[in-house]
Amino acid sequence: MNMNIKDLESFCGTGALWGMDDSAVIAGVVGAAYEVSNVIGAGFLEKVYERALARELMLRGLEVRAQASYPVVYKEWPVGDYVADLVVGERVLVELKCVECFSKLHMAQCINYLRASGLPVAVLINFQRPKVGWRRVSCTPGVLACTV
């Protein structure tokens, strides 16, 4: 398929992800999360932060999908769906929480979400406190080891 730059920008959103590695995308997501927290503060439900963060990411020129659905498969049989809060650039899964602090359960959920989606990296973000908390979680498809 032949595409010029204008076609690529419409195909990929604004084109802001063109040439960015995962670390740069994560930095953009975290920066956007800090901006959302600075503007609306702590204490709202996750859905409020999801919508605000999606808007902030779009304002920054990043391609974002909210409520992205991925099938969960058991022995080649679909058994359910996982719905990601946000996916940025079809590369970084964003899972939002409003909890006192992250637990091992939240990390395990993120790893399972990465496996279901096939994406290599996630950002787990907590909006419960005035200072945003976040963790990077990565998982290589087909490999049992993951890093938090």
CATH of the domain at 61: 3.40.1350
pLDDT of residue 10 exceeding 90, the answer is no
The pTM assigned to this predicted structure is 0.80
Average pLDDT, the chain: 84
How high is the pLDDT of residue 18? 52
How high is the pLDDT of residue 93? 96
Q: What's the order of all strands across the beta sheet hosting 64-74? A: 64-74, 77-88, 92-97, 121-126, 133-139, 146-147
CA–CA separation, 44 and 28 (whole Å): 22
| Cα 105 from chain centre | 18
Structural domains counted in the chain: 1
Exposed, middle or buried by CB within 10 Å (0-12, 13-18, 19+), for 36?
A: buried
Taking only the tens place, the pLDDT of each residue in 106-129 is 998 899 899 889 999 999 999 999
How high is the pLDDT of residue 21? 83
Read off the pLDDT of each residue in 118-146 and give the average, rounded to a whole number: 84
Q: Which domain holds residue 61?
A: 5-147
Nearest to 101 by CA among 82, 124, 85: 124
Taking only the tens place, the pLDDT of each residue in 68-105 is 999 999 999 999 999 999 999 999 999 999 999 999 99
